[in-house]
């Protein structure tokens, strides 16, 4: 039997996954903050329209579904919690499409029924001024290898969004966290990926990535000494105008996911007694840029 599927948070990532589901016949019900008639994804020459409407009142949820994709920002989870209450029964699988290594803890705290599947979202997607979303890479998710993850993989089977199940999810999630942490430097510089071509920015990025790597290892991630260089090379290979979702939020004056992307390194570093001098500087500046005052 076809699963019933919902997407909560139809932004850059939610729209990409909703389009992938729609293309393989698993058109999701869509729940968001802004009412819209439909969603639109642009990927290369492809244009995928996902029929709406985007419903904005949890009273319109219509009861529990089999699978929920939660794609709000980490700063929006609390406000989106009424959707989880309305859409989750005891057997509902909630796949969290967010950055960070704390998805399971944070989202489970808002569930009275259902099971959380954390994910690693590897692809860049950007909301466009006309409301469409521009997918700027191959859509790909990694999930832990659990029975719940198989529900997610099955729903997206054959779609443009590939799903891998990883035996060592922790290591991959921390690898992605390192990528996100260093992307935060784009917010402080107010520049896109082209800035990593500068020798001084490259040197700072490597030092920051090594600091994050020490914390990741203390958290149980098995990552090699080469990871900082590999991640820096990845940013240097991006188109110079490639941004990151936290920079998009900064440019729009929205709250930033500074705590789950950068603060976590400082917090976990302190818990392990690992010095984090670069985080000590970067985190308060990102927090102030996000939350003020001033
Ligand atoms: N964009 C990217 O390239 C990548 C993003 N990620 C991660 O994915 C997650 C989602 O990011 P992204 O898609 O960029 O974010 P967006 O801001 O584009 O999307 C968030 C969506 O959630 C909606 N929303 C906000 N509050 C609520 C609410 N209370 N109830 C329902 N919907 C709500 C927003 O509505 P509204 O339109 O009104 O703002 C918006 O549609 C983040 O954790 C991000 O770090 C990971 C990898 C890449
Ligand atoms: C695009 C990508 C993968 C790299 O920073 C990302 O995670 C984001 O924009 O939040």
CB 29 within 8 A of CB 83: no
Domains 5-166 and 169-283 share a fold: no
Residues with CB under 6 A from ligand 1: 8-14, 31-34, 71-74, 76, 79-80, 83, 97-99, 121, 124-125, 127, 245, 257
- Give the number of whichever ligand sits closest to the CA of residue 36: 1
Return the domain boundaries, the chain. Answer: 5-166, 169-283
93-96 and 115-118: which strand pairing? parallel
How far does the centroid of ligand 2 lie from the alpha carbon of residue 280, in Å? 22
pLDDT at site 112: 87
Q: Using a 6 Å cutoff on CB, does residue 245 contact ligand 2?
A: yes
Q: Using a 6 Å cutoff on CB, does residue 180 contact ligand 2?
A: yes
What are the tens digits of pLDDT across the range 57-103?
Answer: 999 999 999 999 999 999 999 999 999 999 999 999 999 999 999 99
Rounded distance, CA 294 to CA 278, Å?
A: 23
How far does the centroid of ligand 2 lie from the alpha carbon of residue 124, in Å? 6
CB 187 within 8 A of CB 250: yes
Rounded distance, CA 124 to CA 144, Å?
A: 21
What are the tens digits of pLDDT across the range 7-24?
Answer: 999 999 999 999 999 999
pLDDT at site 13: 98
What residue owns the CA closest to ligand 2's atom 7?
180
What are the tens digits of pLDDT across the range 161-177?
Answer: 999 999 999 999 999 99
Which atom of ligand 1 is found nearest the CA of 126?
A: 1
pLDDT at site 1: 79
pLDDT at site 18: 98
Tokens 């920002």 locate to: 73
ipTM of this predicted complex? 0.99
What residue owns the CA closest to ligand 1's atom 8?
98
Catalytic residues: 176
Rounded distance, CA 134 to CA 41, Å?
A: 6
Q: Tell me the mean pLDDT in the region 201-219.
A: 98
Instruction: Check if CATH label 1.10.1040.10 holds for domain 169-283.
Output: yes
pLDDT at site 103: 97
Residue 236 in this model has a pLDDT that exceeds 90:
yes
Structural fold of domain 5-166: Rossmann fold (3.40.50)
Average per-residue pLDDT for the chain: 97
Which atom of ligand 1 is found nearest the CA of 133?
A: 18
What are the tens digits of pLDDT across the range 135-160?
Answer: 999 999 999 999 999 999 999 999 99
What residue owns the CA closest to ligand 1's atom 28?
80
């Amino acid at each position: 039997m076809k699963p019933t599927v919902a997407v909560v948070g139809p932004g850059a990532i939610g729209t990409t996954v909703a389009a992938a589901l729609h293309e393989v016949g698993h058109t999701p019900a869509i729940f968001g903050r802004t009412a819209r008639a439909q969603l639109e994804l642009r990927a290369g020459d492809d244009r995928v329209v996902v029929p709406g409407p985007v419903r904005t009142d949890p009273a319109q949820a219509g009861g529990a579904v089999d699978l929920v994709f939660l794609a709000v920002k980490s700063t929006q989870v609390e406000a989106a919690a009424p959707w989880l209450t309305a859409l989750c029964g005891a057997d509902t699988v909630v796949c969290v499409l967010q950055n960070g290594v704390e998805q399971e803890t944070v989202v489970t705290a808002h569930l009275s029924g259902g099971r959380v599947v954390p994910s690693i979202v590897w692809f860049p997607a950007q909301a466009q001024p006309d409301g469409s979303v521009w997918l700027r890479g191959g859509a790909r998710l990694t999930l832990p290898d659990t029975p719940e993850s198989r529900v997610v993989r099955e729903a997206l089977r054959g779609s443009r969004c590939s799903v891998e199940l990883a035996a060592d999810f922790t290591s991959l999630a921390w690898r992605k966290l390192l990528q996100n942490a260093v992307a935060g430097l784009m917010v402080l510089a107010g520049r896109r990926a082209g800035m990593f071509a500068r020798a001084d920015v490259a040197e700072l990025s490597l030092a920051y990535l090594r600091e994050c790597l020490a914390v990741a290892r203390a958290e149980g991630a098995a990552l090699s000494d080469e990871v900082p260089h590999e991640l820096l090379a990845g940013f240097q290979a991006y188109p110079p105008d490639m941004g990151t979702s936290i920079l998009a939020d900064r440019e729009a004056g929205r709250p930033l996911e500074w705590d789950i992307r950068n603060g976590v390194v400082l917090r976990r570093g302190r818990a392990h007694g690992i010095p984090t001098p670069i985080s000590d500087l970067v985190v308060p500046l990102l927090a102030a840029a996000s939350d003020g005052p001033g």
